[in-house]
Amino acid sequence: MRDRVLWMSGGCAALVLALVGCALSAAQVPPPAVDAAPGAKGQAAEAVLAGGCFWGVEAVFERVRGVSGVVSGYAGGRREDASYETVSSGQTGHAESVRITYDPSQVTYGKLLQVFFAVVHDPTQLDRQGPDWGTQYRSAIFYGNEEQKRVAEAYLRQLNAARVFGKPLATKVTPLEAFYPAEEYHQNFIERHPDNSYVMFNDLPKLEQLHKKFPELEGTR
């Protein structure tokens, strides 16, 4: 949480962190060899992913065609509730996450994971993303059923075997026990604060990468 405050306040501290935070992987991430079967048209499915600060993760997936909603929140913790204050302590075990509601006839679970690895974050960083550090910023896939588990684990094996990122992935695949929506002021943060220093240096470049790497997936937002 300390880093987020520095970014909001701007100044030299934010500029120094920018040099760390705005770097994105140049890796060309292949599509998953194993994927979930496309669903029926209009069917709704959910995916829960954690890739650092949820502001940028939310914004990326909100712009993917076939996604009808994204909620920032917390998953993977030991407590039966979560808030930004408690999660930021790093003591609850939760990770900043997003819950993605999507139409699997338009975008598959595996394609969402490809975007997750190629655009959203650096999956080789352990318990941190850019200027944010701690287990609450870890890379994680929280699967909701056995098919999601199968696709996620197979994809990690594929990417590691091909050494796509040059070193092993830190991403963990774990069952989803619960998801707690974050406070209202965290939802759609980038839309409401596009000039925020943290957003400009850490999140807007992700949207540019989505446009560059996956133009066919971009929705109309």
Q: What's the per-residue H, E or C state across 46-78?
A: EEEEEECCHHHHHHHHHCECCEEEEEEEEECCC
Q: Which amino acid is at 56?
A: G
Question: Percentages helix, strand, coil for the chain, rounded to the nearest 5?
Answer: 40, 20, 40
Phi and psi dihedrals of 182, rounded to 5? -75, 170
Catalytic residue list contains 53: yes
Number of domains in the chain: 1
Catalytic, out of 29, 45, 53, 64? 53
pLDDT by 10s per residue, the chain, length 221: 434 543 443 332 343 344 344 445 667 999 999 999 888 777 899 999 999 999 999 999 999 999 999 999 999 998 788 999 999 999 999 999 999 999 999 999 999 999 999 999 999 999 999 899 999 999 999 999 999 999 999 999 999 999 999 999 999 999 999 999 999 999 999 999 999 999 999 999 999 999 999 999 987 66
CB atoms within 10 A of CB 146: 9
The enclosing domain of 145 has a CATH number of 3.30.1060.10
The C-alpha atoms of residue 176 and residue 141 are separated, in whole angstroms, by 9
CB count in 10 Å sphere of residue 10: 12
List, edge to edge, every strand of the sheet that includes 67-75.
Answer: 172-175, 139-143, 45-51, 95-102, 67-75, 179-181
Q: What angle do CA 140, 42, 60 make, to 5 degrees?
A: 35
Taken in order 32, 37, 41, 47, is the CA torsion positive or negative? Answer: negative
Could you write out the DSSP letters of every residue in 77-124? -SSS---HHHHHTT-S--EEEEEEEE-TTTS-HHHHHHHIIIII--TT
Structural domain span for residue 110 = 2-217
